[in-house]
Amino acid sequence: MVSIVKLLKLLSDPVRLRLMLLLVDEELTVAELQEVLSLPQSRISTALAQLKTIQAVSDRRTGKNIFYSANSGADAVQAAILQAAREELPDVAEDRERLAFTLKKRQDRAAEYFNRLAGKFGRAYVPGRSWQALAHGLLRLLPPMVIADLGAGEGTLSQLLARTAKKVIAIDNSEKMVEFGSDLARAHGCRNLEYRLGEIEAPPIEDSSVDVALFSQALHHASVPLKALKAAHRILKPGGRLLVLDLLSHHQEQARELYGHVWLGFSEIELQNMLRRAGFSKIETSIVSKESEAPFFQTVLASGRA
């Protein structure tokens, strides 16, 4: 029998308590625990090793993965501590939300299938078939909406969206980009495309006036991404849609100097948390693109409803 003093000492740490509460509910790997708790792998591995000394957790190996779970039949003292932690620790509710997201990723075999399918597209030559042609075709299917392209740059995407949109408002903080985009829109006769100078954290757009707010490889340029997302929520009509295309978290520091990136991408959980804090619901995220050559950037898509 484990000494009560040792049990109390180990379970006095909030991180070990949060970890135990997760393992009571699900069998998880270190990587999954790291994703849920947003802690370094070394911190989680150490906590697991300490909990194993009092036989609070056990592990099993499946292939290359080691799964950890809480041992059943815990004594009354441990059960009481965990119940109190579940009711009193402030991080428990968020941990459970992250756990649900992590388990969904584990179970989502459809995403893996589509990644394989996308990887085949374009490998075999078929006359006239390309991602560019497909994108043009799909854009024509959009209903007439008011769209805000936040951080539009020269507005290549805005120009495409304007083909079917009711109106497109392109926001950028560069006077030259706005001037160039405006000239291009006039040259192409895009009367429903308007460029406005402004910051994506405070876009010059009326409240509740757009159907879709879009950040296409723009959010990593924001000084405060959450502020930009809150601004997008402000300008969306009730039920309006937010779309974010950005780089998945990476470690390519040269991107700051080469491309002016303020943030080195975002993880799926970071985006989920920011969208939730900005007021969005029905939040979804997925990896939609993986580069096959160095530096192997990946693109994450996040969406939500205002």
User: In Å, how far are 153, 154, 171, 181, 276 from 175, measured between CA atoms?
Assistant: 10, 10, 10, 10, 32
pLDDT confidence tier of residue 93, bands split at 50, 70 and 90:
confident
Where do the domains of the chain lie? 4-107, 129-305
pLDDT confidence tier of residue 261, bands split at 50, 70 and 90:
very high
Q: Is 240 a residue whose pLDDT tops 90?
A: yes
pLDDT confidence tier of residue 232, bands split at 50, 70 and 90:
very high
Q: What local confidence, expressed as pLDDT, does residue 132 receive?
A: 73
Q: What local confidence, expressed as pLDDT, does residue 113 receive?
A: 59
Average pLDDT, the chain: 87
Q: What local confidence, expressed as pLDDT, does residue 284 receive?
A: 93
Q: What local confidence, expressed as pLDDT, does residue 136 receive?
A: 74
pLDDT confidence tier of residue 100, bands split at 50, 70 and 90:
confident
What's the CATH code, domain 4-107?
1.10.10.10
pLDDT confidence tier of residue 74, bands split at 50, 70 and 90:
low
pTM for this model (two decimals): 0.66
Q: Is 127 a residue whose pLDDT tops 80?
A: no
Q: What local confidence, expressed as pLDDT, does residue 119 receive?
A: 57
Q: What local confidence, expressed as pLDDT, does residue 120 receive?
A: 63
- % pLDDT > 90, the chain: 44
Q: Is 73 a residue whose pLDDT tops 70?
A: no
Q: What local confidence, expressed as pLDDT, does residue 224 receive?
A: 92
Interval 60-88 mean pLDDT: 81
pLDDT confidence tier of residue 229, bands split at 50, 70 and 90:
very high
Query: Which stretch of 69-78, 167-176, 199-208, 273-282 has the lowest confidence by average pLDDT?
Result: 69-78
Architecture of 129-305 per CATH?
A: 3-Layer(aba) Sandwich (3.40)
Q: What local confidence, expressed as pLDDT, does residue 203 receive?
A: 96
What HEC string does the chain produce?
Answer: CCCHHHHHHHCCCHHHHHHHHHHHHCCECHHHHHHHHCCCHHHHHHHHHHHHHCCCEEEEEECCEEEEEECCCCCHHHHHHHHHHHHHCCCHHHHHHHHHHHHHHHHCHHHHHHHHHHHHCCCCCCCCCCHHHHHHHHHCCCCCCEEEEECCCCCHHHHHHCCCCCEEEEEECCHHHHHHHHHHHHHCCCCCEEEEECCCCCCCCCCCCEEEEEEECCHHHCCCHHHHHHHHHHHEEEEEEEEEEEEECCCCCHHHHHHCCCCCCECHHHHHHHHHHCCCEEEEEEEEEECCCCCCCEEEEEEEEC
